[in-house]
Chain A
Amino acid sequence: MGAPFDISYVFSFLPKLLTTLGTTLLIVACSLLSGVLVGFLIALPRLYKVPVLKTCAEIYISFFRGTPILIQLFLFYYGLPEILKLVSVDVTRTPVLFFVILTYGLHTGAFMSEMIRASVTAVDRGQVEAAYATGMTSFQAFSRIVLPQALGIAIPVFSNLVIALLKDTSLAFTLGVMEMTGKAQTLGSISQHFIETYIALALIYLVISFTIEKLLLVAERRLLRHEERSSPAKRMFRLQKNGSYRRIIAELGPGKGGGGL
Chain B
Amino acid sequence: MIKIEHLSKSFGRHQVLNNIDLTVTKGEVVVILGPSGSGKTTLLRCVNYLEKPGDGEISIGDFRLNCKHARKKEIHQLRQKTAMVFQQYNLFRHKTALENVMEGLLVVKKLPKEEARNRSIALLEKVGLGAKLDAYPSQLSGGQQQRVGIARALALEPEVILFDEPTSALDPELVGEVLAVIRKIAKEGITMIVVTHEMGFARDVANHVVFMDGGVIVEEGTPAEVFNHPREERTKQFLKRITPELNYSI
Q: Which residues of A contact B (CB under 8 A)?
A: 124, 126-127, 129-137, 140, 144-145, 148-149, 152, 223, 225-230, 238
13 A-B pairs with CB atoms under 8 Å apart are A127-B91, A127-B93, A129-B84, A129-B86, A133-B50, A133-B79, A133-B83, A134-B104, A134-B108, A135-B156, A136-B104, A137-B76, A148-B94
Which B residues are CB-close (under 8 A) to A135? 76, 79-80, 104, 108, 156
Q: Assess whether B10 is interfacial by the CB under 8 Å rule.
A: no
Question: What is the CA–CA distance of A134 and B152 in the complex, to the nearest angstrom?
Answer: 8
Interface of A is mostly: helix
Question: What is the CA–CA distance of A149 and B104 in the complex, to the nearest angstrom?
Answer: 18
Question: What is the CA–CA distance of A226 and B108 in the complex, to the nearest angstrom?
Answer: 23
Given A126-B88, A227-B138, do A132 and B94 touch, yes or no (CB 8 Å)? no
CB distance from B38 to the nearest CB of A (A): 21
CB distance from A60 to the nearest CB of B (A): 31
Question: What is the CA–CA distance of A197 and B100 in the complex, to the nearest angstrom?
Answer: 55
Question: Which of chain A's residues has its CB closest to B99's CB?
Answer: A226
Q: Number of contacting residues on B, CB 8 A?
A: 27
Given A134-B108, A135-B79, A227-B138, do A126 and B92 touch, yes or no (CB 8 Å)? no
Say whether A149 contacts B138, CB under 8 Å: no
CB distance from B243 to the nearest CB of A (A): 30
Which A residues are CB-close (under 8 A) to B95? 226
Q: Please, what's the 1-or-0 string for B133-144, where 1 marks a CB less than 8 Å from any CB in chain A?
A: 000111100000
Which B residues are CB-close (under 8 A) to A133? 48, 50, 79, 82-84
Question: Which of chain A's residues has its CB closest to B103's CB?
Answer: A134
Which A residues are CB-close (under 8 A) to B137? 226
CB distance from B30 to the nearest CB of A (A): 18
Which B residues are CB-close (under 8 A) to A230? 139
Q: Assess whether B131 is interfacial by the CB under 8 Å rule.
A: no
Say whether A130 contacts B108, CB under 8 Å: no
Which A residues are CB-close (under 8 A) to B86? 126, 129-130
Which B residues are CB-close (under 8 A) to A148? 94
Question: What is the CA–CA distance of A184 and B132 in the complex, to the nearest angstrom?
Answer: 58
CB distance from B152 to the nearest CB of A (A): 7
Question: What is the CA–CA distance of A131 and B99 in the complex, to the nearest angstrom?
Answer: 13
Question: What is the CA–CA distance of A226 and B95 in the complex, to the nearest angstrom?
Answer: 7
